[in-house]
């Protein structure tokens, strides 16, 4: 504080020099220090409130993901990207965005006509794109998958697959865990888990030979946290997470990368099967399918191992279950029955009301 005093005296030669002065200036200075501290605290509280507000309203992914920049084009340009479930929904938009980044595409799903439609649509906007259509059924058994993998590897003059986007999935309307039939269970696991794993087992050896390859797995928030009304679907996505995080830990030193993407509710067009077969409420706040595809490519090209894409309240539930499971599961237990109820009444199954509302909320 004497430093301040001497500076002031330097600036103003008439500055008082009595022995009283330094003390008073010191007191005044302490007051200013307090004010400054208060001001900084207020600023910090304001910033925290602002960030919390953002987190509650506009943040649409986990904080690692949303702090990354745009997709890295150089990681995709000229690469071969094989996308399953490319005939509609998230897969269709992913295909368009990968094409915009210069990728060579292989589009797969069961419906060949729909794949052709997607291909023509991309070509009409991006005439230079290189796109092949490769129809396949993930649940058709190993022999058929073997042929498909061989065909995919041979396309684009045997270039081989750089990115395998496991996006196809089978989803049933929401219902209680004990109401799901064995048929529903088998159909879900055959496509979402066994077919996807079989495809991976057949493709990975080619990638290992080249010493590189990247699996991008469209899992779900239901693969991370309880999903009342979707127990079987949730089980299939948990299975995928378990398989692919294990696979990565085995093969990461051999050039194999894995990105597990866990979207919450996504606004796919009404033409989508999930949209027509799964009840949806207009007040559900869903991330747009374009943004979901963009963040998926951000996660893959920035080499993220896992990425969550969702608005609230699902994003908070994911954070709680991951970092404070006791609280997260307690919260989900409050929600479970109400969510089943909401699904039965075709109400909002992603609402804050499920947490804060009364028993009858939907
Ligand atoms: N939409 C969401 O809110 C949401 C949220 C979280 C996670 N996800 C996940 O994101 C991915 C895409 O979701 P989406 O809503 O876009 O799905 P979608 O509209 O239902 O499309 C599913 C895609 O998978 C294909 N498919 C289904 N069964 C198949 C089979 N046996 N063999 C090969 N392909 C098959 C479908 O084409 P064909 O019928 O022609 O075969 C279609 O292209 C899924 O993994 C889903 O679980 C979606
Ligand atoms: C997966 O592969 C096994 C053989 O390894 C085969 O028995 C089974 O039918 C295949 N399932 C699907 C759904 O592809």
Q: Which of 109, 170, 262 to mutate to test the pocket of ligand 1 (most atoms within 8 A of CB)?
A: 109
Q: Which residues partner with 151 through β-bridges?
A: none
What's the whole-model pTM score? 0.88
> What pLDDT shows up at residue 353?
83
Continuous H helices in 62-111: 63-66, 89-100
In a domain, 300, yes or no: yes
Within this chain, do residues 216 and 271 fall inside the same structural domain, yes or no?
Answer: yes
In a domain, 333, yes or no: no
Q: How many domains does the chain have?
A: 2
In a domain, 348, yes or no: no
> What pLDDT shows up at residue 196?
98
311 is catalytic: no
Query: Could you give the CA distance from residue 329 to residue 21 in angstroms, rounded to a whole number?
Result: 64
- Segment 56-66 mean pLDDT: 93
Query: Could you give the CA distance from residue 64 to residue 312 in angstroms, rounded to a whole number?
Result: 16
3-state secondary structure of 75: helix
In a domain, 355, yes or no: no
In a domain, 147, yes or no: yes
In a domain, 81, yes or no: yes
Does residue 141 line the site of ligand 2, with CB under 6 A? yes
Within this chain, do residues 135 and 44 fall inside the same structural domain, yes or no?
Answer: no
In a domain, 222, yes or no: yes
Catalytic position from the list 163, 233, 311, 350: 233
CATH for 94: 3.40.50.720
Does residue 139 line the site of ligand 2, with CB under 6 A? yes
Within this chain, do residues 153 and 19 fall inside the same structural domain, yes or no?
Answer: no
In a domain, 324, yes or no: no
Within this chain, do residues 147 and 197 fall inside the same structural domain, yes or no?
Answer: yes
Query: For residue range 332-351, what is the model confidence (pLDDT) as tens digits?
Result: 999 988 888 888 888 888 88
In terms of residue numbers, what domain contains 38?
2-57
Within this chain, do residues 143 and 72 fall inside the same structural domain, yes or no?
Answer: yes
For 261, the token pair is 């993407």
Within this chain, do residues 113 and 35 fall inside the same structural domain, yes or no?
Answer: no
Q: Report the run of H or E that residue 256 belongs to, with start and end.
A: strand 256-263
Within this chain, do residues 87 and 43 fall inside the same structural domain, yes or no?
Answer: no
């Amino acid at each position: 504080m004497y430093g301040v005093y001497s500076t002031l005296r330097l600036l103003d030669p008439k500055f008082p020099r009595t022995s009283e002065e330094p003390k008073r200036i010191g007191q005044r200075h302490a007051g200013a220090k307090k004010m400054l501290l208060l001001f900084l605290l207020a600023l910090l509280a304001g910033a925290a409130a602002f960030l919390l507000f953002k987190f509650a309203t506009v943040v649409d992914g986990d904080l690692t993901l949303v702090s990354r920049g745009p997709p890295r084009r150089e990681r995709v340009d000229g690469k071969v990207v094989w996308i399953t479930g490319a005939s509609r929904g998230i897969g269709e938009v992913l295909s368009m965005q990968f094409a915009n980044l210069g990728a060579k595409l292989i589009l797969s799903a069961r419906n060949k006509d729909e794949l052709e439609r997607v291909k023509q649509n991309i070509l009409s906007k991006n005439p230079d794109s290189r796109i092949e259509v490769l129809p396949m059924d993930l649940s058709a058994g190993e022999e058929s998958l073997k042929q498909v993998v061989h065909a995919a590897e041979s396309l684009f003059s045997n270039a081989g697959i750089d990115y395998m986007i496991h996006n196809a999935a089978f989803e049933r309307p929401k219902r209680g865990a004990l109401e799901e039939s064995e048929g529903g269970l088998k159909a879900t696991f055959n496509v979402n888990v066994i077919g996807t794993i079989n495809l991976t087992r057949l493709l990975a050896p080619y990638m290992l030979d080249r010493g590189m390859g990247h699996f991008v797995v469209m899992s779900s928030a239901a693969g991370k946290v309880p999903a009342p009304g979707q127990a079987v679907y949730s089980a299939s996505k948990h299975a995928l997470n378990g398989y692919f995080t294990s696979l990565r830990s085995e093969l990461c030193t051999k050039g194999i990368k894995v990105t597990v993407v866990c979207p919450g509710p996504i606004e796919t067009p009404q033409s989508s099967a999930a949209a027509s077969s799964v009840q949806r409420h207009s007040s559900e706040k869903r991330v747009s399918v374009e943004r979901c595809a963009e963040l998926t490519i951000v996660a893959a090209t920035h080499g993220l191992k896992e990425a969550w894409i969702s608005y609230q309240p699902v994003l908070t539930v994911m954070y709680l279950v991951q970092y404070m499971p006791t609280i997260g599961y307690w919260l989900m237990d409050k929600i479970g029955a109400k969510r089943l109820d909401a699904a039965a009444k075709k109400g909002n199954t992603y609402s804050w009301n499920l947490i804060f509302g009364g028993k009858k909320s939907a």
